[in-house]
Amino acid sequence: MENFRNIGVMGREGNGVVETLRRLLVLLEGRNVTTVLDESLSPLLPDHGLRVCPRKMIGEICDLIIVVGGDGSLLGAARSLTRQSAPVLGVNRGRLGFLTDISPGEIESQIGAVLDGHYVTEKRFLLDVEVMRDGARIGRGDALNDVVLNSGTSGHMMEFELFVDGEFVYRQRSDGLIVSTPTGSTAYSLSAGGPIMHPRLDAIVIVPMFPHTLSSRPIVIGGNSEVKMVVCASNVVNPPVTCDGQVKITTQPGDAIYVRKKPHKLKLIHPLGHSFYASCRDKLGWGGHMPIEPSDD
């Protein structure tokens, strides 16, 4: 197991975040490690006395990044750390917390155990999106959860064509389309009726949003596939493309949106005993009881 010596702390302002940050910094101060603070957090902690670093550089000088906040905070951190190899550990100050799986009350025990070398690592792939207009790229973004093309206006459908690996799939009228990673399958994709995918799957799911035909269903494709969406000329709106609900690119009729797997993966760290299925039971309200074994009598 890697011995973490330089630890970056990231996050964003929110309910209880400052209190949790202070508790985390007290723990790190007693562990003989060098702590580097994301510059966006510095104003929340006056007189902290720590080294401050821009978000785009923090992954280059640290060998572990701890993110305090909800899954949205970790999504933002993941997009800024895609080209750096530092693994990421999440402390949950949000609601669901599929990615940030350490609760504030477990900081001393769980993060202490991670620093002692007791953890597991898993890799999650991200998506790269490019928007092309007349052969020129007019926008791009990264997504750990999903890339979404939608009409951008309530009550208005949009029309687009879908291609996978250059092969025409369908022309559709709907509120839009979600292209999701396995990580994002428990997020917006799930709300739209998409399947839950185990994080280790090398697959992408394409989920239509309120399609005009009842026969349209989610499609699961290979993780190395290229997805292309073309905004049809019949549209009277300029549909936006969003990455993890945060990065927004406005398209216009005739634009092509390409979605591909990124070559760089995010390394997530979990405490020992982490279970994807336990997270589903907890976060999604699945029945938590173990099945009763049949009797031998």
Place of tokens 């309910």: 15
- Quote the Cα angle for 207-213-159, to 5°: 70
The phi and psi torsions of 133 (rounded to 5 degrees) equal -135, 115
Q: Which residues contact 197 (CB under 8 A, 6 or more apart)?
A: 182, 185, 203, 205, 220
Active site residue 71: yes
As a three-state string, the secondary structure of 71-123 is HHHHHHHHHHCCCCCCCEEEEECCCCCCCCCECHHHHHHHHHHHHCCCEEEEE
Q: Which of 71, 101, 142, 146 is catalytic?
A: 71
User: Three-class SS of residue 276?
Assistant: helix
Instruction: Choose among 138, 143, 139: nearest CA to 128.
Output: 143
Q: In what order do the strands lie in the sheet containing 203-209?
A: 219-222, 203-209, 176-180, 146-150, 240-243, 247-250
Which residues does the annotation mark as catalytic?
Answer: 71
